[in-house]
Structure 1
Amino acid sequence: MVRAVSALLCLAMVTGSSGARAQIVDDGSGAALGPADTRTVLDLIDRHLKSPDAKVTVLRRSAGAIICGSVNVKNREGLYTGERGFVVDLATSFFGRVPEGPELMTFRPGEAYQAMERIRQIYFDRCLD
C-alpha cells in the first residue's frame, strides 16, 4: 500500500513539475538548439496552439534569433492534422504557424490577413532553402 502511494506521488510530481505538457520534439532536432531554446519553442507552441500533444520536428536555427520548424497538432476529433511550418523569434517571443490556403481565404484584407501574410513571408524568407 505504501509503495503504491509512493509511486503515485512520484508520478504526480514528475508530471506536475513539467506542467503536464506532452509536447515533444519528435525527431530529436531540438538537440541542436539546446534545452533552453527548445523549451522556449515548446512553451510558445503550448501558449499559442493550446495543444498539449503537439509533435514538433525539423527544428533549426536561421538568421539571428529565428527558429524554424514544423508542428503537428490534433483536431477536435483527436486526429493529427499534418505538419505545418512555424517560425519563432526568440528575441521577441514571437510565434507564428504558417497559414493554410483556406485560412487565408476566410479573412478579408485587414490586420488578421496581414499578420498571416507576415508569418508566411518570414517563413519563406528565413526557413526555406
Structure 2
Amino acid sequence: MRRDPGSRAGGPIAVLIASLAIAPALAQTVEDGSGAEIGAPDTTIVLDLIRRELDSPDAKVTVLRRSGRSHVCGSVNVKNRDGLYTGERGFVVDLETRRFGRVPDGPELLSPRSAGFAEKEAIRQSYFRLCLDG
C-alpha cells in the first residue's frame, strides 16, 4: 500500500496548513475607537465593504459617525503600491444597500468625460450632503 507523502504528520502539506493557521491575519482597524459609537454590527459592515471595495487589508479607519438612519461616514487611509499610506479620505456607507463610496481625489474629477466621472461626482455630493456639518 502506497502512502501519500503529504499525509504524514510533519509532511509538507501538514506544515503548510499549520503555518496558515498561525499566520497573523491582516485587518482594517478603527484607529480612534469611533466604531463603538456606531456599534459592532455596523462597524463590521463598514470594514467588510472597505476590504472588498478598496482591496486594502490594512486600511486605517477613523471618525466613524452616523448620518441619519442608514448612513455611516468616516475617513480611511490605505496603502499605495509602494506600501505607503496615502492620506485620509472621507467615505460614506449606505447600510441598507451595502454601498461604499470614497470621496474622489481632485484629479479624479478634472474631466467630466473621464470614465466613472458621474459616479465619482455623485459620491462626492453625497459625502458633502450627508457627512459634513453645516
TM-score range, shorter chain: 0.7 to 0.9
What residue in structure 2 maps to residue 84 of structure 1?
89
Q: Which has the larger radius of gyration?
A: 2
Q: 1:90 to 1:13 in 2, by over 3 A?
A: farther
Percent pairwise identity: 65
Aligned residue among 100, 103, 108 for 2:105:
100
Structure-2 separation of matches of 1:63 and 1:88? 11
Give structure 1 stretches of 5+ with no counterpart: 1-8
Give structure 2 stretches of 5+ with no counterpart: 1-17
Shift of 1:64: 2.0
SS at match of 1:27: coil
SS at match of 2:80: coil
Aligned residues: 117
SS at match of 1:85: strand
TM-score, length of structure 1 as denominator length: 0.83
Q: Deviations over 1:73-127 (max 9, x none)?
A: 00000000000000000000010000011111256166x1110011001100010
Is the counterpart of residue 73 in structure 1 residue 74 in structure 2?
no
Structure-1 separation of matches of 2:83 and 2:114? 32
Is the counterpart of residue 113 in structure 1 residue 117 in structure 2?
yes
Over 4 Å off, 4+ runs: none
Is the counterpart of residue 63 in structure 1 residue 72 in structure 2?
no
**RMSD across aligned positions (CA):** 2.2
Q: 1:46 to 1:107 in 2, by over 3 A?
A: farther
